[in-house]
Amino acid sequence: MSTNIASSIANQDESLPKDHRVVVFGTHDDQELLAQTLATSDEFDLVTARHIVRSLPGIIPRDLSRPAAASISTAVRELGLHAVAIPVEQTPNLLHAERVHHLRLDDDGLKVVHDADSDTFWPWAAVSVISVGVVPSDAPARHRPSPTLAQGSSHRSWTDGVTIAPKMRAEAFVVLTVDEPPLAFASDELNYEYLAGRMKGSSSANFRMLTEDLLTHAPKAWVTPSTRAFIDRGPIRHYEFRTRDDFRSYTEFQKLLSDMR
């Protein structure tokens, strides 16, 4: 029987600041039970709770008052999962990561090239987290109209007059230990000139080499499981994400785990 979270915080002052979040460190065999437990809070309806449960483990993306966050985390723990309430300021935020398009890697460190006269350099010790995932491209979905057919033809392609989804591509976050925004980049938007003679004709192949170089040069960085699966050519479900936001949320959770080690 699930805890009624709403009743446990009914007498709390609604004017309390919403400055906490709940972190859940596992998944439950009965996802519907977990969703129903979250939905007993006034913070989530059942549809929202089901969506949240599918994204766990992770940081629940909702700012809550401290009592509400504490009550929700207690209810989740009663189901046998580890969960905590933490201040929002302690949760990683990659929403404003710097999009970069030109990297150079060498034995000394990582350099972001902004233009011919400007670059930023970090030693490898400053690389905290490396996260790679495959996500939908930024390119919008496009519509394929029905072609003009020869008079009297009854042929129709299954894909005539349908919307074609954007292609998938590899992307990465590199989180730095210094007080700088994290870096974000996509495989088909990078200048790979630093690879020189190793450069291939495929952006995906070049991106894989760049990722391998990152791991080699930053051995103390936290490497996410999705990154390992990508490099090891594991099952695609281990590194493919439905949306870029899902990938970002995953990486934020991984950054939190790295901070707690």
The predicted pLDDT at position 115 comes to 82
Helices 66-77 & 31-39 angle (0-180, nearest 10) = 150
What average pLDDT does this structure show over 194-205?
95
- What fold, for 5-90? Ribosomal Protein L30; Chain: A, (3.30.1390)
pLDDT in tens, 92-139: 999 999 999 999 999 999 999 998 788 999 999 999 999 999 999 876
Which regions of the chain carry the CATH code 3.30.1390.10? 5-90
Q: Is the pLDDT of residue 65 over 90?
A: yes
- Token digits of residue 25: 């460190």
Rounded distance between C-alpha atoms, residue 224 and residue 251, angstroms: 8
β-strands 168-176, 127-136: how paired? antiparallel
21-35, 58-72, 152-166: range with lowest mean pLDDT: 152-166
DSSP three-state, residue 230? helix
pLDDT tier at 159, thresholds 50, 70, 90: very low
Other beta carbons within 10 angstroms of residue 61's beta carbon come to: 14
55-69, 117-131, 165-179: range with lowest mean pLDDT: 165-179
Pick from 142, 131, 28, 4: nearest CA to 81: 28
Cα R_g (the chain), whole angstroms:
22
**Residue 133 near residue 241 (C-beta atoms within 8 A):** yes
Residue 29 DSSP symbol: S
The predicted pLDDT at position 244 comes to 95
Pick from 138, 87, 139, 106: nearest CA to 259: 87
H-run or E-run covering 68: helix 66-77
Distance between start and end Cα atoms, the chain: 34
Rounded distance between C-alpha atoms, residue 234 and residue 172, angstroms: 17
Comparing 29 with 142, the larger pLDDT belongs to 29
- Show contacts of 242-249: CB within 8 Å, 24+ apart: 243/135, 243/136, 244/135, 244/136, 244/171, 246/55, 246/135, 247/131, 247/133, 247/135, 247/171, 248/94, 248/95, 248/97, 248/173, 249/55, 249/58, 249/59, 249/61
The predicted pLDDT at position 11 comes to 52
| pTM for this prediction | 0.84
Identity at 22, one-letter amino acid code: V
- Residues whose CB is less than 8 angstroms from the CB of residue 91 and which lie 6 or more positions away in sequence, other chains included: 21, 23, 59, 252, 256
